Structures are given as structure tokens and as C-alpha cells.
């Protein structure tokens, strides 16, 4: 514990020195960032993050435009969940994939601003009270080829934040992406589903059986990746799978 505190102290000191020597500016407004651990955004811009809130679909967390549906039935599901029953028990996302959230995720993922995983992962913590207890946390894996290009798995970095906070075990290599799927950007829902079909494998079935699993990813777009991972885990005998993503793409009229 003391060793960890000393290490955090040294890392914090080195980071402050680095920032003093090479001051960074907020990606949006060029003001000086003021949040510890986040040299890329100022607190004011970070607060503009479009947080998602109730009323939402109790199953997949998609916000409803009005609470009217839930007045009649508190278990009213969105049309997507009614059309195709999700393989997960519950999914929630912290913010809409837009504005500061989209640029922060983009910076973390494609420009290797790994430090942002801490601030983005912290957005998941208030959502934990939405979930039931879990036995283990599973990040959505990258294919080894993509991992080499990107040098780190953003979903794993986000899952680490949750596990540090909760003490839940991190099952970081339980799921494997067995083939390099095409980037989902620009594909429609059916193409995305086809793209991730049979792309994941549970490496070891034994620890999964009957266990409640929390799946973590950075963005949920049409939900095809989260669906496929939850499907594979459930098929391997997992107990209920719940899913958290930092951001969710909300298309007009999707509620």
C-alpha cells in the first residue's frame, strides 16, 4: 500500500513537472486544463459532456424522449429491444457520443492519449449502482493485430478504473477476438452485426459458468459488438451479463 502510494506520488510529481515544462491546453477552448489526470480538457469543457439520464429503456439504457411510456408500464422497452431481445440483462452508457465525449474517446483511442482512460473510466462509476452485483469484469477485446497498432486496449484501460474502485476481479483475457474485424465506422446495423458475427471466443469456459459478468467497452453504436460478446458469454454458460460503455451513439428518432 505504502509502495503504491509512493509510486503514485512520484508519478504525480513527474506529471506536474512535465506539465509545468510543457503546458498543455484544452482541446476545445485552448484554456489551461485544471483537472488532475486530465491535461487535455479544461473542467468547464469537460462539464459540457452530454450525460444520459432517465427515463431510459430499462434493458438497454437508451434514453426515451419522454417519460410517457414508462408511466403506463415501468418495464416498457425501446423498440430495438422489443424487436430483438438483447442477450444482456442490462446495458447502460454514461454520455451521448457527441461533442467533448466523442473527441475525448477519439484522442484516447486513435492518438494514444492513454491517460484519458482515467477520466473517461470515472464516468462509468455513477452507473454502477444501476447494476446488480457481478463476479468479474470483462473488457471487449481487440484483435491482436489492432492491439499492436494501437498499443493498448481502451476497453481494458476503462475496466481497470472500475476494478480499482470496486475490487471486482478483472478477467482481462477471458474473451478473445479471433479475427480482425473491419472498423465498424460507416457500416449500417445489419453490416455491423455480420462484421462481428463469430469474431469472439471465450478462452476458458470454466470460470464463466454461472458467473455474473460485467462487460465494458468505450462506445456503443448499434450495440452489435456488445450484443455479440454477451451472446458468446451466455452461450458459454455465463450468468446474466451486464454491459457498461462510456458513450452511446444516439441517432435521431432512435428512442
Considering CB under 5 A, how many residues would be counted as binding Zn ion? 12
Min dist CB 248 to Zn ion, Å, is 11
For the window 35-74, what string marks contact with Zn ion as x by the rule CB under 5 A? -------x--x-----------x-xx-x------------
81 binds Zn ion (CB under 5 A): yes
Q: Which is nearer to Zn ion, 46 or 171 (CB)?
A: 46
Please say which residue, 24 or 198, places its beta carbon nearer to Zn ion.
Answer: 24
Q: How many whole angstroms separate alpha carbon 11 and alpha carbon 176?
A: 32
Binder to Zn ion among 49, 78, 123, 140 (CB under 5 A)? 78
Which lies closer to Zn ion via its Cβ, residue 76 or residue 177? 76
Q: How far is the CB of 35 from Zn ion (least distance, A)?
A: 10
Residue 243 cell numbers, joined: 454491459
CB of 185 to Zn ion, least distance (A): 23
28 scored as a contact of Zn ion (CB under 5 A) = yes
- Binding site residues, Zn ion, CB under 5 A: 26, 28-29, 31, 42, 45, 57, 59-60, 62, 78, 81
Amino acid at each position: 500500500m505504502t509502495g503504491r502510494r509512493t509510486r503514485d506520488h512520484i508519478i504525480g510529481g513527474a506529471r506536474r513537472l512535465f506539465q509545468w515544462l510543457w503546458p498543455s491546453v484544452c482541446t476545445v477552448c485552448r484554456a489551461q486544463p485544471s483537472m488532475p489526470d486530465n491535461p487535455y480538457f479544461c473542467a468547464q469543457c469537460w462539464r459540457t459532456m452530454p450525460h444520459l439520464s432517465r427515463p431510459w429503456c430499462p434493458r438497454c439504457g437508451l434514453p426515451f424522449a419522454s417519460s410517457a411510456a414508462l408511466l403506463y408500464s415501468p418495464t416498457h422497452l425501446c423498440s430495438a429491444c422489443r424487436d430483438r431481445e438483447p442477450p444482456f440483462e442490462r446495458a447502460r452508457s454514461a454520455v451521448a457520443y457527441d461533442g467533448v465525449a466523442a473527441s475525448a474517446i477519439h484522442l484516447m483511442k486513435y492518438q494514444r492519449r492513454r491517460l484519458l482512460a482515467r477520466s473517461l473510466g470515472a464516468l462509468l462509476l455513477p452507473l454502477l449502482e444501476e447494476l446488480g452485483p457481478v463476479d468479474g469484469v470483462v473488457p471487449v477485446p481487440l484483435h491482436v493485430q489492432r492491439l499492436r497498432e494501437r498499443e493498448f486496449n481502451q476497453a481494458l484501460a476503462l475496466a481497470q478504473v472500475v476494478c480499482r474502485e470496486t475490487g471486482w476481479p478483472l478477467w482481462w483475457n477471458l474473451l478473445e477476438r479471433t479475427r480482425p474485424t473491419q472498423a465498424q465506422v460507416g457500416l449500417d446495423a445489419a453490416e455491423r452485426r455480420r462484421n462481428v458475427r463469430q469474431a469472439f471466443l471465450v478462452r476458458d469456459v470454466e470460470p464463466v459458468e454461472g458467473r455474473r459478468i460485467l462487460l465494458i467497452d468505450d462506445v456503443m453504436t448499434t450495440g452489435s459488438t456488445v450484443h455479440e460478446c454477451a451472446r458468446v458469454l451466455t452461450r458459454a454458460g455465463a450468468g446474466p451479463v451486464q454491459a457498461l460503455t462510456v458513450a452511446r451513439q444516439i441517432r435521431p428518432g432512435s428512442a
